[in-house]
């Protein structure tokens, strides 16, 4: 073999080795496509988005209704029952009623009023008039008139005198209306008129279905029960539950923490609960409970995405895949808060691709696809853009680099190379003369 052939042989081997090494590096990088997509700001930002019909066939659906600056979330459960969490402001009453009627809902099995604020229970009268409600879940806040006397329909008024409880007293007419609705609601079952059951929600309250193929668990983890207190005497209070700890006059902090689990999928709701509740809730969890809160699939951002809530500590535990904030277009509180969005974007999950707001997306509905995976639809979807994935770039890069490596010619003759360089230099210098 001549020197030249020997050299060419060596060069070919080096070239093949180089192509292989680059191929392996790019190949391995494709395993981390998701992370690299996130880093480069590419990839499918609407990966979980599906058409409405797919959700219609789902045995479960969770609807974050677009009610402007407020909250109203509907859950259609696998056993055919429904849960409605909050009903937003009074002006959104028609929106909520129309939305439920469009789904041919006549009965609400579980109604949760997270707390007394008008952006959560403002349209309660309209909703209670339009539907039959079987079970009402209320906060441990006492409805009082302007002089601090419990209102006519308030059944927990006697607790006001217990100074150890430091009850939160609410004197708004909106809250009084809700309390009246709760304790006067009736529904028909088998031709018989029944009174709605009223519960005061507390840490440990569970609603579940154990029917095969319809299993789910809805569990409350806050507010915490006041130490040493036994359940209400139902004959006196017409209410199931326990007195729960007070956070003084902060109405938001009477909100519950709710975990809804169905088929390995989890949804979390915290109403307007703030930092203090999040801290107490985290401190109250045992290891088994903590495990259940790891990797929440859909987290409804606390307090409409406000910085009063959604602490780093909470987010670190739940690392949600999707975050939904219920807030109005150009709302005066500028929600979701910039700091909260940053906190969520910095989570290890690619959650920034899935941060949804009702302001931007309108009604947002989650459900299962035929293969059992979670997906969502919204009536104002982001425009579909051309999606570029890292693996596509990696393949392209590999082809280009391979062509470059193959086409680069290397020669043994150092003198010839030197001559060529000299002649090229001369040619160039002539040109510029």
Judged by CB, which is closer to Zn ion: 115, or 349? 115
Judged by CB, which is closer to Zn ion: 109, or 278? 278
Judged by CB, which is closer to Zn ion: 178, or 368? 178
Judged by CB, which is closer to Zn ion: 38, or 303? 303
Q: How many CA atoms lie within 13 A of 252 on its CB side?
A: 17
Expressed in angstroms, the distance from the first to the final Cα of the chain is 46
Closest CB 117 distance from Zn ion, rounded Å = 5
Contact 115, 255 (CB under 8 A): yes
Closest CB 317 distance from Zn ion, rounded Å = 23
Judged by CB, which is closer to Zn ion: 88, or 363? 88
Closest CB 152 distance from Zn ion, rounded Å = 26
Closest CB 310 distance from Zn ion, rounded Å = 13
Write out the residues near Zn ion by the rule CB under 5 A: 119, 272
List the structure tokens of 343: 């906190």
Q: How many CA atoms lie within 13 A of 399 on its CB side?
A: 5
Judged by CB, which is closer to Zn ion: 174, or 239? 174
Closest CB 395 distance from Zn ion, rounded Å = 48
Q: What is the DSSP letter of 332?
A: T
Closest CB 154 distance from Zn ion, rounded Å = 22
Closest CB 71 distance from Zn ion, rounded Å = 6
Q: How many CA atoms lie within 13 A of 283 on its CB side?
A: 8
Question: Which long-range contacts (C-beta less than 8 Å, at least 24 apart) are formed by 17-22?
Answer: 18/405, 19/401, 19/402, 19/405, 22/398, 22/401, 22/402
Judged by CB, which is closer to Zn ion: 272, or 297? 272
Q: Going edge to edge, which strands form the sheet with 73-76?
A: 240-241, 197-200, 132-138, 107-112, 82-85, 73-76, 61-64, 364-368, 374-378
- CA gap 239, 311 in Å, rounded: 33
Closest CB 87 distance from Zn ion, rounded Å = 12
Q: Is 352 exposed, middle or buried (0-12, 13-18, 19+ CB in 10 A)?
A: middle
Judged by CB, which is closer to Zn ion: 89, or 100? 89
Instruction: Kindly write down the DSSP assignment for every residue of 164-206, as one continuous string.
Output: TT-PEEE--HHHHHHHHHHHH-EEEETTEEEEPEEEE--TT-E
Q: Which of 101, 90, 109, 99 is nearest to 65 (CA)?
A: 99
Chain centroid to CA 72: how far? 14
């Amino acid at each position: 073999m001549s020197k030249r052939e020997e050299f060419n042989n060596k060069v070919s081997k080096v070239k093949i080795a180089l192509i292989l090494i680059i191929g392996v590096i790019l190949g391995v990088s494709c395993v981390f496509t998701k992370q690299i997509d996130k880093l480069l700001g590419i990839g499918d930002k609407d990966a979980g988005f599906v058409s409405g019909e797919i959700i219609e066939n789902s045995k479960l659906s969770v609807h974050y209704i677009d009610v402007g600056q407020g909250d109203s979330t509907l859950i259609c459960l696998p056993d055919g029952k429904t849960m409605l969490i909050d009903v937003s402001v009074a002006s959104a009453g028609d929106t909520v009623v129309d939305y439920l009627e469009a789904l041919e809902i006549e009965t609400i099995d579980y109604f949760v009023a997270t707390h007394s604020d008008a952006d959560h229970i403002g349209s309660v009268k309209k909703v209670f008039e339009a539907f039959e409600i079987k079970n009402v879940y209320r906060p441990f806040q006492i409805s009082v008139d302007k002089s601090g006397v419990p209102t006519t329909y308030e059944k927990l008024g006697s607790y006001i005198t217990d100074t150890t409880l430091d009850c939160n007293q609410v004197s708004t007419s909106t809250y009084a209306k809700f309390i009246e609705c709760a304790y006067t609601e009736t529904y028909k079952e088998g031709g018989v008129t029944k009174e709605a059951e009223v519960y005061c929600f507390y840490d440990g309250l569970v609603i579940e279905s154990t029917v095969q193929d319809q299993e789910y668990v809805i569990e409350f983890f806050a507010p915490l029960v006041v130490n040493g207190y036994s359940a209400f005497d139902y004959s006196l209070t017409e209410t199931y539950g326990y007195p729960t700890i007070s956070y003084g006059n902060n109405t938001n902090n009477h909100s519950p923490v709710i975990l809804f689990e169905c088929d390995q999928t989890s949804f979390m709701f915290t109403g307007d609960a703030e930092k203090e509740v999040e801290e107490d809730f985290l401190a109250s969890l045992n290891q088994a409970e903590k495990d259940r809160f790891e990797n929440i699939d859909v987290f409804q951002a606390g307090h409409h995405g406000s910085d009063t809530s959604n602490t780093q500590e909470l987010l670190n535990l739940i690392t949600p895949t999707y975050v939904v904030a219920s807030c109005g277009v150009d709302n005066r509180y500028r929600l979701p808060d910039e700091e909260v969005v940053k906190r969520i974007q910095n989570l290890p999950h690619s959650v920034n691709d899935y941060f949804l707001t009702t302001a931007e997306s309108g009604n947002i509905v989650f459900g299962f696809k035929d293969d059992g995976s979670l997906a969502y639809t919204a009536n104002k979807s982001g425009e579909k853009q051309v999606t570029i994935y890292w693996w596509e770039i990696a393949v392209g890069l590999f082809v280009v680099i391979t062509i470059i490596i193959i086409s680069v010619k290397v020669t043994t003759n150092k003198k010839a190379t030197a001559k060529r360089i000299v002649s090229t230099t001369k040619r160039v210098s002539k040109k510029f003369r």
